[in-house]
């Protein structure tokens, strides 16, 4: 990404902005520094679930897990400086599909394509702005 690491990291911590950047994310409500409530609609299936930030270090990574709902997921996004004005953003997710449609979609690589598309939209958003809409710098 063509922004400094602190800009990319700060924007990633603005979870309530995710619906602007991620297909299928309808709403995120941040309830405190660690917890978020998600509403999604992917392939016509609506879901609500809660996530907890389990590890967060500014300008390095954010790791999460689901804590409620029928979505079982863990993940981590890492930030790596390339130079003073460029950042590499890498995401790892472990998602356990439920139901036939999700299992078929997972086998067809739909989740992988969706995550890659979401990261491209994040890149475009932050590069267009050149600055983050906010930022949380706490360590959890």
Total residues found in the chain within this entry? 140
CATH for 5-129 (3.40.50.10800, 3.40.50.1970, 3.40.50.2300, 3.30.530.20): 3.30.530.20
Domain ranges of the chain: 5-129
- Cα–Cα distance measured from residue 64 to residue 93, given in angstroms and rounded to the nearest whole number: 9
Write down the pTM of the prediction. Answer: 0.87
- Confidence at 102, pLDDT banded by 50, 70, 90: low
pLDDT in tens, 20-63: 999 889 999 999 999 999 998 877 788 899 999 999 999 999 99
- Confidence at 19, pLDDT banded by 50, 70, 90: very high
Q: Report CA-CA distances (Å) from 46 to 22, 26, 71, 126.
A: 15, 9, 11, 28
Look at strands 72-83 and 61-68 and give their pairing.
antiparallel
Instruction: Answer whether residue 7 shows pLDDT above 70.
Output: yes
């Amino acid at each position: 990404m063509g922004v400094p690491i602190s800009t990319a990291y700060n924007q990633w911590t603005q979870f309530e902005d995710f619906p602007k950047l991620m297909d299928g994310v309808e709403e995120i409500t941040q309830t405190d520094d660690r917890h978020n409530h998600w509403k999604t609609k992917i392939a016509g299936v609506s879901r609500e679930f809660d996530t907890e930030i389990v590890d967060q270090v500014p300008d390095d990574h954010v790791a999460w897990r689901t804590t409620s709902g029928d979505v079982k997921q863990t993940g981590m996004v890492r930030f790596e400086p390339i130079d003073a004005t460029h950042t590499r953003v890498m995401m790892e997710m472990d998602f356990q599909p439920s139901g036939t449609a999700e299992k078929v979609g997972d086998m067809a690589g739909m989740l992988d394509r969706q995550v890659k598309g979401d990261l491209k939209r994040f890149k475009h958003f932050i590069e267009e702005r050149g600055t983050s809409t906010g930022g949380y710098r706490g360590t959890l």
